[in-house]
Chain A
Amino acid sequence: MEPAQELEKALAELKRITGIALEVRADTPEELELALNQVHCLSLAYKEKYNKNHFLQNLMADGIPAYDIFERSARLHIEPETSRVLFLIETKNPVDDTITEVLKNLFPSQSKTYQVSMGERSLVILRPLKSSETPEDISHIAHMIVDTLNMEALAHVQVAYSGTIDTLMDLPGAYRETSLALKVGRLFYSEQTVFPHNQLGIGRLIYQLPVTICENFLKEIFRGEVPDTFDEETTATINKFFQNNLNIAETSRQLHMHRNTLIYRLEQIERRTGLDIRRFEDAMTFKIATMVINYLQTERNS
């Protein structure tokens, strides 16, 4: 973009957020650059002082020192000590006007509920928590957000939510937790659309392990020959066997397979991996190992 156009855009942005219309005269490229910088600084200063969204965005991104939080929240009339819950919404496609409008109207109390954009595909709803609301109610709200955006905006979304946030000081931590829930949920529980921050199970543990430790674990388990993937049939057999609590009779029945065929397949897996998943200990190791493999594959792909 040409500097002159950029300046025009910056002035329009300044007018949009402050209502101040400025006229700038810049005769040389240096003057133009200086003017552009100053207009940007003006916009930023105004946002920092008066824009709730900007403040909350910065706060969640750990960009506001603790000593400054209460003063700035008071200036913006944001109650610093009230119970809230954070919903982090991530969309498959970039967030569009339909999504923001649907959410704005779903939570119409703008003085109490804040909708904060956190990137091209993610936004946060910070909603006050009523004393009578239970964890089930919060879960219901998260599902309601997903279903309503599915129905009204025809958008694929996933939602993670935090625990109770009692003061704004806890907001950066809650955002980190919720972001982690979304990442871990997508990785290990991808068939779900709602991820509570406190139900990540063993996925959380694996996600927080350094890659080298994961790799060493796999080398140890599979004696150097880490299976990248199993074929579809083997994966289905293993999943079904685990779903049925290692019950051979039930698994073979559900897979419409003779029990000897199932046993043969399980023995093949043992030959390949060294793990006899009919034994609880090996089954547990295998389950964790497959989760670690998935994690490493995703890490490599990203």
Chain B
Amino acid sequence: MASLSLKGIQKVYPNGFQAVKDFNLDIEDKEFIIFVGPSGCGKSTTLRMIAGLEDISGGTLEIDGKVMNDVEPKDRDIAMVFQNYALYPHMTVYDNMAFGLKLRKVPKDEIDKKVREAARILDLEKLLDRKPKALSGGQRQRVAMGRAIVRNPKVFLMDEPLSNLDAKLRVQMRIEISKLHENLGATIIYVTHDQTEAMTLGTRIVVMKDGVVQQVDTPQNLYNTPCNLFVAGFIGSPQMNFMDAVVKVNGSDVTLTVGEHVLKVPASKKKALIDGGYDGKTVVLGIRPEDVHDSESFIANSPDSVIRSKIKVYELLGAEVYLYFDVEGTQMTARVNPRTPLRNGDDAVFALDMEKIHAFDKDTELTILN
């Protein structure tokens, strides 16, 4: 397998559109890297530049220490699985997986060995004689993966490979891909716009927006310490709640005022607000839905972080309940225990876990507390 290094990578199309700006990333051997971001953020373009399917306008791409900018895709030792894959309809699963190797004139016995090994890894051994028509969506997807595996590449590049599958199958295939990464010990770069997919699969995630890398970190760190408002809002489902809050410093006490609600900032979070000179300024307060509590005991223990509102929507998801309500005109979500007595139209009291709050500068949108 391989390590990759992207230094100052840029993509400018002939019509002047700059799709990727100054992309810097070092990818270690056997890492599972995810490029995530909204559509048009440059994640697929970056992947296609790594693959050699797009010219690199600026910067350097290295695979295993060798500059690859002008190397043809077929000489980069990569394999790709893209969104709109198609299996050859008249060929069996075996032939579908063997086809690419046959075209490259690989000896028959070697092809057979590679196909059977890939089939074993993907649990396709019993399906090798079937035609694509006789396969389920998930099985077809695994065959597409198999075609990449038999190439035995240094790097796997995957561009939204699951987006044509239904929700249930996607969950199943996510697990399969995760297992595949473990079994192959492969370096994988995976593009998705789905943050759940990103969080569950990646060892590290690259969050992109408008061609610019916003943050590169582990799923855990991205979730707990987002570097800016965009990352905070993009990672996590339901997304983080945001509201404007005015910072007030009174001696050693710091409060955040949201309309009529005054929230006391805990000692661990005060310093950044005081040192940053935010006294009297408005910041964006962020809190994850699971850190908004409705239990009586939590509220009793947190009298300085209480907010009141009326429940607009009660949504039962089985293991949890989402409660939607407004605070000062901003919609908020609380993720609570399904045993909650709250229902649509009820007057509710919540307490925020102030140790878990985030605050962002209103102008720069950068985090203040992390």
Contacts and interface: CB of A to CB of B under 8 A. Distances in A.
- Whether both chains belong to one complex is answered with yes
Interface of A: 93, 97-98, 101-102, 105-106, 108, 140, 143-144, 146-148, 150-152, 154-156, 187-191, 229-230, 232, 235-236, 239-240, 253-254, 256, 258, 290-291, 294, 298
A152 B100 contact: yes
B147 A294 contact: no
The 5 closest A-B pairs by CB, nearest first: A154-B73, A147-B82, A147-B84, A143-B84, A144-B84
B84 A187 contact: no
Contacts, number: 95
B52 A240 contact: no
A108 B89 contact: yes
Contacts of A105: 88, 90-91, 99
Nearest to A235: B16
Contact of A150 (B82, B104, B363): B82
B280 to A, nearest CB: 20
A152 B13 contact: no
Given A239-B18, A256-B364, A151 B103 contact: no
10 contacts: A105-B88, A147-B85, A148-B84, A150-B80, A154-B52, A154-B72, A156-B53, A187-B14, A236-B21, A239-B17
Given A143-B84, A156-B73, A256-B365, 12 more contacts: A106-B88, A108-B88, A144-B84, A147-B82, A150-B80, A156-B54, A187-B15, A190-B17, A191-B13, A230-B16, A239-B16, A240-B210
B53 A232 contact: no
A189 B15 contact: yes
Nearest to B209: A254
Contacts of B144: 151
Nearest to B96: A105
A253 B365 contact: yes
A166 to B, nearest CB: 26
Given A191-B19, A240-B210, A298-B14, A151 B89 contact: no
A155 B73 contact: yes
Contacts of A108: 88-90
A291 B15 CA distance: 8
Given A152-B100, A189-B15, A239-B18, A106 B86 contact: yes
A152 B17 contact: no
Nearest to A146: B84
A228 B210 CA distance: 25
Give the size range of B's interface with the partner. 35 or more
A254 B19 contact: no
Interface string B244-259: 0000000000000000
Nearest to B73: A154
Contacts of B45: 191
B148 interface: yes
A288 to B, nearest CB: 13
A152 B99 contact: yes
Interface string B33-51: 0000000000001000001
A140 B84 CA distance: 7
Q: A93, A146, A150, A229: which has the most chain B beta carbons within 10 Å?
A: A150
Contacts of A102: 103
B83 interface: yes
A294 B14 CA distance: 8
B83 A147 contact: yes
Contact of A290 (B13, B16, B73, B89): B16
Nearest to A253: B365
Interface string B197-241: 000000000000010000000000000000000000000000000
Contacts of A240: 210
B100 to A, nearest CB: 6
A253 B72 CA distance: 39
Contacts of B19: 191
Given A105-B99, A143-B84, A148-B86, A254 B210 contact: yes
Contact of A151 (B13, B15, B80, B363): B80
B18 A232 contact: yes
A294 B18 contact: no
B81 interface: yes
Which of A156, A190, A191, A291 is packed against the most chain B CB atoms within 10 Å? Answer: A191
Interface string B94-109: 0000011001100000
Interface in B353-370: 363-365
A144 B84 CA distance: 5
B12 interface: yes
B16 A294 contact: yes
A98 B103 contact: yes
Contact of B17 (A97, A146, A191, A258): A191
A150 B85 CA distance: 10
A148 B72 CA distance: 17
Contacts of A290: 16
